[in-house]
Amino acid sequence: MSLLPEPHEFEKEYDYEELAEELPDRPITSLRDVQYVYGRLYTLATAGGGEFAAYLTPQKSTDLFDEPESLLFLNVDLTGDEPRLDPDEPVGVRQYGADLVGPVAHSWYNAAKGFDHSITHRTGRNKEPEKVAEYLHERLTAWAADETIRQVAADHEDGWIVEALAHLGEQEGVGERIEEVVFGLLDGKTTALTTVRVKLDEDGEYQFPGACGSTVFDEAMRARKRSKLVSKGEASDSAGRATDLVTGVEGRTVGTAEDPLNYFLGKQLEKFPGFDPDQAWRTHPVSEDVAVTLMNASTFVDACDYYTMGANVYYLPYFFGRLTPEDARELYGVLYDLVNSEEGMSPLESAYRQYQDKPALQAAGERFRFYVAAVMEHQTKRFDVFGDSLDASLLSPVGLARSHRDVLRSWFYDADDDAELPHSRVRPAFPTPENWDVFVPDERSLVTTLATGWYFEQTFGPQDDDDASADDYRIRALVAALSGEPLSAEAVLDEYVNRLISDEGEEFPSFRVAAQFVQLCALAAADLLDGRGAYEPVAEEPTFRSADRTPTDTMTQDTPARTDGGSAATARETKLAQFLEDTPALSEGNPERRGSFLLGALVGQVTGYQQVSEGRSTTMVDQYPIKAITESKLKRLAGDVLDKNVVYSRERGLPSTMYGEVVDRLVTTLPRIDIEEDWELDTTDLRFYYSLGVAYGMNNWTTGDDDEDDEQSTAETPADRPAATSEDPR
C-alpha cells in the first residue's frame, strides 16, 4: 500500500504559498538538485512538513497495514517515583494501519544488525515470540541506552523520559516479564513494528512516541540518524564546515550519506586511491537535512528506473530553471503516475503517455527535461555509471521514433501500404517482416521499443554475457538516444557488422540488415549521428523526406534505361537510380561505398537467380560471406560475380546481361577505386554497405521478371560489353 496521496489530494494539502516555502530558491542545475526536489515532494506527501518529517520513513512498513499482530508496544508508566511496566497490560498488540503512522513515528535504518533510528523498530520477517520480546526489551536496553540518544537526553528538557526508560531496562526481571506476556499474546511467528507507549500524567493515557507531546523522541531519532551520516564503513567522523552543494548555504556538512543512485559510497575506495573516508565531506558536501532529503528521494528515483541490457537506466523528469509551485504539482503528478504505472512499463513510456495527455507538460516544452544515466551493479555496493546527461528531453526519443516511423513509411520499406514507390512494378528496397517490432510504423510502439533498450539490442553486436560493461555500446547508444547526444557513425557501423557476422549462418541475415538500415536512416534524420571525416555522408539523412519532389522525378540522366517504360528492368532501373540518389552515402562522390553496395546488390540478385532458377544450395553469397569481404578480395569478387552474371545471361539466351542497371553502374564505379594505394574506406564500412547491397539485391524482385528477356533492348549485347575477369575489376 502506498501512502502517497493522489495529485489532487496533494494540491489540496498544500496551497500555493505553503508549497512555495518548501521549494528550493534556486534553479535546478544538477542531479543533486533533482533528487532534493524529489525528496522534498516525497516527504511532504508522506510525512508532512516540519523539522523532523524528513527523518521519518513512513513508507517502509506499509506492507504491515491491517496485518494481525503487526504492532507490539510496551506500556511504560512514568508517573511514579520509579518507571514501571503497566501492571495490567505491560505489552499491547494491534493491527498497524495508516492512522498509526504519525503516532508510531518510525525511522528505519538499513542495517542487517543493529536497531532503527527511532525508538520504534521493525522486526525481521516472521520472528518467533521470544525474538519479538527481545526486540521490545531492546527499546529500553539498546535504544534508550545508546550513547548518541543519551547525549540528546542530557541536553533536552524532557530528557528524563529517555533516562527513565533506560533505567527500567536495567531492572531485574523486566525482560522475563516481557517475554512471558508476549508468549501469551502471539499465536506464532510475526513481522511487526515494536515500540513503547509512555504515560506521563497520572490521569493521562498511554501515548506513542509521536503523540506524547514531547520532542525528545524526535530529537533523539534525528541525532542518531545524523550520526550515521558521518560514521559508516571506514569513516568515523566525516564532517566539516563547507558550502552545501544543493542549498549554497555554508555550515556543517557530512560525507557518508546514502545516495539513491549509489554515486557516492564509502566502500568505493578504488575510485579515489589514497582517499581518506573521514574527508568525504570535502568531495561531496551536503548538510544533514539535505542528506536525509536526498535519501528520501529513493521511492521516486526507483520509479524512474528500468532494467535492461544488464544495467539500470534512470530517466528522472524535472523542470529546467527555478521550480514554481505549479511546476512542483505537475512534477508530483508525473512521479505519482510513475510509482503507480502499469507493471513493466518503462519510465520513458509512462512519461510519454502523460505528456500526450497533459497540456501543462506540452506547454512546458523544452523546460520539461530528464536526467538520464545507466548504472550497473557489479556486486554488493559496487557500481559503475556508464553515461549520464542532465539535458535529456522527451522530444529526443520521440523525435527518433517519428523519424524511424517516417523511414518505414517511405518507399524504402513496405511497412505502409500508402508508400509511393518509384515504379508500380517494383517492391520496396528492403523487406519488413511482421514479427519484428522494429518494423512497426507506429510512434507509441517505437517509443516502447526504444525505451526498453530493445531498439539497439536488435541491431547492435551481441555481448558475451548478460552483464553490462563499460564498452557496451548498446548502453551508450540508449543513453545518447534518450538525451539527444549524437552517436559516432563509425562506431554504429562497427556494431552493425559485428552483429551481422555473428548472425551469418545458413542464410544471409537480410532482415537484420534491413533493421539496421532503417535505424541508421532514422538516427541520421533525427540528428543523432556524428559523421566526422569520411563518415560525414553516413550521418546525412535520406533525401526522400524532401517535400518538394516525388520519388520518381530524380532518376539519374546519364544511365540509360535498359528496356521500354513498362518492363521489369525499367522498374529496377528507376528504383536503383532513386535509391542511390536518396542515400547520401551512396552518391557518386563516395565511389568506395557506392561500389561496395553495387557489388553486394549484384551478388544478391545473382544469388536470388541461383536459388530460384538454378535450385542451387550454395550461392554467390555463400561463397562470399560478410566476414570474408576485404579490400584485397574485392577485385576477385567483382570478377566472379560479373562473370557469373554473363554466363547466366547467355544460358537464358538474353540479348543483354541480366541486371544491367547494377552492372552498368558497377563497371563505371570500380575503376574509380584504387584498391592498392588510395583505398579510404574502413573494412567495417565496406562490409556494411556490401551487406546492404546484398539485402537490396535479394529483395529486388519485380513483376514480370520471367518475361524480361522478351523486353530487353538490343542496344548492347554481351559481346559488346567488356568481359570482367579476376584481373579486371570491371
**pLDDT tens per residue, range 239-295:** 999 999 999 999 999 988 777 777 765 444 445 566 787 888 888 899 999 999 999
What is the C-alpha separation between 683 and 133, in angstroms, rounded?
Answer: 72
What is the C-alpha separation between 418 and 411, in angstroms, rounded?
Answer: 9
pLDDT at 265: 56
Task: Output the CA–CA distances (angstroms, integers) from residue 339 to 1, 230, 305, 349, 372, in the order listed.
Answer: 11, 31, 10, 13, 18
Boundaries of every domain in the chain? 11-47+232-300, 58-214, 304-545, 568-711
pLDDT at 281: 86
What is the C-alpha separation between 142 and 144, in angstroms, rounded?
Answer: 6
Least confident of 484-493, 591-600, 651-660: 651-660
Residues 624-639: what's their mean pLDDT? 90
What is the C-alpha separation between 320 and 367, in angstroms, rounded?
Answer: 5
Which pLDDT tens digit goes with each residue over 126-176? 999 999 999 999 999 999 999 999 999 999 999 999 999 999 999 999 999
pLDDT at 154: 96
Is residue 205 scored above 90 in pLDDT? yes
Residues 327-352: what's their mean pLDDT? 90
Cell of 318: 524535472
pLDDT at 724: 34
Output b/e per residue, 130-144; b: 16+ Cβ within 10 A: ebbbbbbbbbbbbbb
Q: Which residue has the higher pLDDT, 679 or 149?
A: 149
Residues 515-524: what's their mean pLDDT? 97
Longest dimension (CA), the chain: 122
Least confident of 32-41, 212-221, 263-272, 523-532: 263-272
pLDDT at 462: 85
pLDDT band at 718 (very low <50, low <70, confident <90, very high): very low
pLDDT band at 561 (very low <50, low <70, confident <90, very high): very low
Instruction: Find, among 275, 237, 274, the residue nearest to 255 by Cα.
Output: 237
Which pLDDT tens digit goes with each residue over 114-132? 899 999 999 999 999 999 9
Q: What is the mean pLDDT of the chain?
A: 86
714 Cβ partners below 8 Å, 6+ apart? 655, 656
Is residue 84 scored above 90 in pLDDT? yes
pLDDT at 421: 65
pLDDT band at 111 (very low <50, low <70, confident <90, very high): confident
Which is it for strands 487-488 and 91-94: parallel, antiparallel or unpaired? unpaired
Single-letter residue type at 590: N
DSSP, collapsed to helix, strand or coil, labels residue 311 as strand
Per DSSP, helices labelled H in 484-544 are 489-503, 510-525
Percent of the chain with pLDDT over 90: 63
What is the C-alpha separation between 136 and 132, in angstroms, rounded?
Answer: 6
Packing angle, helices 683-698 and 631-651, rounded to 10: 20
Single-letter residue type at 587: S
Task: Output the CA–CA distances (angstroms, integers) from residue 60 to 56, 103, 193, 696, in the order listed.
Answer: 9, 15, 11, 58
pLDDT at 162: 97
Which pLDDT tens digit goes with each residue over 403-430? 999 999 998 997 555 556 666 667 789 9
What is the C-alpha separation between 234 and 539, in angstroms, rounded?
Answer: 50
Single-letter residue type at 601: A
Which pLDDT tens digit goes with each residue over 476-501? 899 999 999 999 999 999 999 999 99
pLDDT at 419: 58
What is the C-alpha separation between 141 and 136, in angstroms, rounded?
Answer: 9
What is the C-alpha separation between 371 and 168, in angstroms, rounded?
Answer: 52
With beta carbons less than 8 A apart as the criterion, state whether 311 and 261 touch.
no
Which residues make beta-bridge pairs with 384?
A: 376
Residues 617-621: what's their mean pLDDT? 87
What is the C-alpha separation between 262 and 312, in angstroms, rounded?
Answer: 12
Which pLDDT tens digit goes with each residue over 444-459? 999 999 998 999 999 9
Is residue 311 scored above 90 in pLDDT? no
pLDDT band at 702 (very low <50, low <70, confident <90, very high): low
